[in-house]
């Protein structure tokens, strides 16, 4: 299966279980590996035959920035759901990083893989 990669997509959202984390939006970084068959787009050279990654990015960022999850796990699952709504996406790997979540680490991340049934 072919892949489209979106790296270090930045967004801001309410995320976390602590009271102070629920007051202001925090930065998250999203990395997506979109599994798709690129052959139709490669042979036609038409956007209609491809995963429109600009549109996908817009939907993911809009959902994330409106969200208020407690756990990165829940946010990652929701992002995967948004990606799988696009008809040309058959599988997705989602990694969500929360920079500064731990004082002694650059980031904490959750990585999941989901596919269409």
pLDDT tens-digit readout, 29-80:
999 999 999 999 999 999 999 999 999 999 999 999 999 999 999 999 999 9
Are the beta carbons of 12 and 65 closer than 8 angstroms? yes
Full residue range of the structural domain in which residue 99 is found? 2-115
List the CATH number of the domain containing 74.
3.30.1130.10
pLDDT at 18: 93
Segment 89-109, tens digit of pLDDT: 999 999 999 998 888 989 999
Instruction: Give the pLDDT score at 100.
Output: 86
Q: What is the pLDDT of residue 117?
A: 82
What total number of domains does the chain contain?
1
Q: What is the pTM of this model?
A: 0.95
CA distance 109 to 86: 24
């Amino acid at each position: 299966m072919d892949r489209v990669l979106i790296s270090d997509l930045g967004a801001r959202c309410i995320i976390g279980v602590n009271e102070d984390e629920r007051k202001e939006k925090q930065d998250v970084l999203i990395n997506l590996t979109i599994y798709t068959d690129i052959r139709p787009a490669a042979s036609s050279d038409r956007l209609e035959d491809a995963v429109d990654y600009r549109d996908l990015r817009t939907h993911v960022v809009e959902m994330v920035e409106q969200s208020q999850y407690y756990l990165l796990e829940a946010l990652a699952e929701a992002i995967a759901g948004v990606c799988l709504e696009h008809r040309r996406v058959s599988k997705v790997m989602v990694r969500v990083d929360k920079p500064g979540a731990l004082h002694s680490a650059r980031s904490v991340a959750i990585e999941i893989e989901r596919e269409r049934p």
